[in-house]
Amino acid sequence: MNLIYRPRRLRKDDTIRRMCRETRVSSDSLIYPIFVDEMLLGKREIASMPGQYQYGLDTVDQAVMECIQAGVKSCLLFGIPSHKDALGSSAWAENGVIQQAIRKIKEKFPDFYVITDICLCEYTDHGHCGVLCKEQVDNDQTLDLLAKVALSHVRAGADMVAPSDMMDGHVAMLRKTLDEAGFIDIPIMAYSAKYASAFYGPFRSAAGSAPAFGDRKGYQMDPHNRKEAIKECSLDVEEGADLIMVKPALSYLDIIRECADTFDVPVAAYAVSGEYAMIKAAAQAGLVDEYKIMCEAALAVFRAGAHILITYYAKELAAAIQKQDIG
C-alpha cells in the first residue's frame, strides 16, 4: 500500500517514542500534601487513605526528609489544631500548628519549598470555611481572618500561600495584606476553580474538616459549570494570583485544558483524596495495576495542560520519573 503518512514510524521503538513525546513530566512539578496534627506524637496512618499519614510536630521533618529523598522539593501543609472555635482563631496563632511546623521544617531544610493552605475549615468548631452568620458563611468578615492567617504563615517562613476558602475577593485581600507588610515577593496560588465535589470525602476525615451541618455548595463551584470556572480564574488573576488551581483534577480535565489555554499564569491541579483512594481500593481488590494507573492518571493531568500537580502519589511519581516510566 502506497501511504505517504505512516504515524507508526514515530512509535517504532522506545527511543523514538520518547523523542517525540508532546507531554513532559518533571518531579519539579510535584507537590506533596502533608497533614500536621498538633495533638499527635509520631505519625498515624489515615484509614481512608492507605499509605498516607498524619504527622505530629515531632515527625513533620521526617515527612519532609522522605520527600527530599524521593526528589520532591515542595509540600502543601494542612493543620489539625488542638483547639477549635467559632472563628478558627488557632489558624492565625503565632504558635499554631502550621506556624510551628513551618519553623521546624525551615530550621532543618531551609531550601525545601513550603506552601500553606489558607482556610478556616480545619480550625472552626462548625467545620465551615469562614465566619458564620446564622447558618451562612459571611464572605466579607471571613476575608479579614484569612488575611491574618496568611500573614502569620508568611511571618513563620512560608514560601507561598494557597487560599482554598472560595470567598469572593480573597486574593485581593491577601495580596494587599502581604504587600503592606513587606512580603511583596510571596506568591499566591489560588484554588480558583474549586468544585463542590464528592471526591473530598477521605480528606475531610484526614483533616477533621467535615462541616457540622449543611454543605459547602454556597461557596464552592457547581460541578455542572464550565464558564464559571473561567470567570473565577479571571477574577483571581485580576486580583493578583500568581498561580491558579483546578480541584479536583481527573474529573475536570476539560477545565484544566481551558484554563491553561486561556491564562498566562501557571495552572496547578489537585489530584484529591478521593482520586487517590479509588486507585488504592481498586489495586487492593486486584482490579488494576496501581503503579501503571498512578502514572497514567498523572500523565492525563499534565497532558490536559497542568504545569503543577498536587498529589498524594508525589513521591511514587518522582520515582517513576527517575525510572523513565513517566516523563
For residue range 153-198, list pLDDT tens digits in order. Answer: 999 999 999 999 989 999 999 999 999 999 999 999 999 999 999 9
Active-site annotation holds for 108:
no
- The mean predicted confidence, pLDDT, of the chain is 93
Ranges 91-105, 125-139, 218-232, 286-300: which has the least confidence: 125-139
Q: So what's the pLDDT on residue 20?
A: 82
CA 277, 245, 258, 223 dihedral sign is: positive
- The structure's pTM equals 0.93
- Is the pLDDT at 258 greater than 60? The verdict is yes
- Rounded average pLDDT over 294-301: 97
d(CA 306, CA 99): 29
d(CA 114, CA 73): 9
Ramachandran sector of residue 51 (left: φ over 0; alpha: ψ -120 to 50; beta: rest):
left
- Is the pLDDT at 135 greater than 80? The verdict is no
pLDDT tens digits along 6-37: 899 889 988 888 888 888 899 999 999 999 99
Please pick, among 247, 280, 292, 315, the residue that the annotation labels catalytic.
247
Strand ranges in 142-290 using DSSP code E only, listed in sequence order: 160-163, 189-194, 243-247, 267-271
Strand ranges in the chain using DSSP code E only, listed in sequence order: 30-37, 43-45, 53-55, 74-80, 113-118, 132-133, 136-137, 160-163, 189-194, 243-247, 267-271, 308-311
Ramachandran sector of residue 80 (left: φ over 0; alpha: ψ -120 to 50; beta: rest):
beta
Q: So what's the pLDDT on residue 263?
A: 97
Pick from 231, 247, 122, 237: nearest CA to 187: 237
d(CA 41, CA 165): 29
- Is the pLDDT at 91 greater than 90? The verdict is yes
CA 303, 305, 306, 311 dihedral sign is: negative
Q: So what's the pLDDT on residue 195?
A: 96
pLDDT tens digits along 30-73: 999 999 999 999 999 999 999 999 999 999 999 999 999 999 99
- Is the pLDDT at 118 greater than 70? The verdict is yes
Q: Is the Cβ–Cβ distance between 77 and 61 less than 8 Å?
A: no
- Is the pLDDT at 211 greater than 80? The verdict is no
Query: Residue 248, preceding bond cis, omega within 30 degrees?
Result: yes
Active-site annotation holds for 73:
no
- Is the pLDDT at 207 greater than 60? The verdict is no
Q: Is the Cβ–Cβ distance between 221 and 214 less than 8 Å?
A: no
Q: Provide the pLDDT confidence category of residue 206 given band limits of 50, 70 and 90.
A: low
Please pick, among 194, 231, 292, 323, the residue that the annotation labels catalytic.
194
Cell 511519581 belongs to residue? 317
